[in-house]
Amino acid sequence: MNIGIIGAGLSGIVAARELMRHGHTVELIEKSRSVGGRLATRRIGDGKADHGAVYFTVRGEALKQDVADWQTKGWVNVWYADPYPRYVAVDGMNALAKRLADGLSVRLNERAETITTEAGQVRVQTDMTTRQYDRLLITSPLPQTLDLLADLPVDAALHGLTYAPTFVGLFEFGSETSIGPDGIRDTDLAPGLLKVINNRQKGISATELVSVYMDESWSENWYERSDEETLQEIERLLQTVTGAAGIQSRQLKRWRYAQATDVWHEPFYQVNDHIYLAGDVFLEPDDASGRTRFESAYVSGLRVAAAMR
């Protein structure tokens, strides 16, 4: 079959690899300039800073086997293990996404606008062209997905799932600024701060780059403020951790759909005979964590690929 996938984040990449392995022709459509979604890394000067997923953990056997292979290939390593391993990608989380997407057909900088079905085919109108498939998988954040499916019947409960935003401030320091023994602090922080990461201590940056993650409530309250005002406040809060150490540059990343506040307790959703939905919000019924994460996106991609093939 000729299969289209909207969204080249982890779920889309995993599904594409699995479908291609079973002989299907697969094409991914991605509105951004890179694959990976929240597996996001930004280059700043001579350094790198992750500003999406910080690390990932492993509970299930399916991911465990792949992670062992990625470790053998030198793609990931253990950052720290207290009380269980936190894995990070060598060269930043986006580097793992790019390695997994190697060999896939990906249309970058292309945005899907409408979806229609006719005569057993799915037609995707993008801002560049019209693409036609036998099957379509959509892995974009659910609010964006539902906008695309406005003319198709979808379970009303899906419309009730909401997302919280997250701000991430990226700060370049001129001198060594250690954040705890492992480069992460996520407890005993000022209100609003979720976690503070030193990317040099994490092992992905040659320079002192600190990623500051704000919590959901703070990010929601500040979402309509200007970038400059927001960065100033994040910097003020960061100084409660680092003191008045010299900051050389600062940048801001807004994740509008960072974390689902509710989840769907199935690993994918089938709209009709031709269209499927997947992503980190779709969890297996026995998922013990009950929250979206790297592994839920990975498993969702595997399960939907098995259903589609």
pLDDT in tens, 276-305: 999 999 999 988 888 889 999 999 999 999
Taking the C-alpha atoms of residue 149 and residue 156, their distance in angstroms, rounded to an integer, is 12
With a cut of 90, say whether residue 83 has pLDDT above it.
no
Q: What is the pLDDT of residue 138?
A: 98
The CATH number of 163-260 is 3.90.660.10
CATH 3.40.47.10 fits 2-40+96-161+264-308, yes or no: no
Residue in the block written with tokens 């993008």: 126
217 three-class SS: helix
Q: What confidence tier does 245 reach under pLDDT thresholds 50, 70, 90?
A: confident
Q: What percent of the chain has pLDDT over 70?
A: 100
Domain segments of the chain as ranges: 2-40+96-161+264-308, 163-260
Q: What confidence tier does 244 reach under pLDDT thresholds 50, 70, 90?
A: confident
- 296-300 own/partner pairs: CB under 8 Å, 24+ apart: 296/263, 297/9, 297/10, 297/11, 297/14, 298/10, 298/11, 298/14, 298/62, 298/63, 298/66, 299/60, 299/62, 299/63, 299/267, 300/11, 300/139, 300/267, 300/268
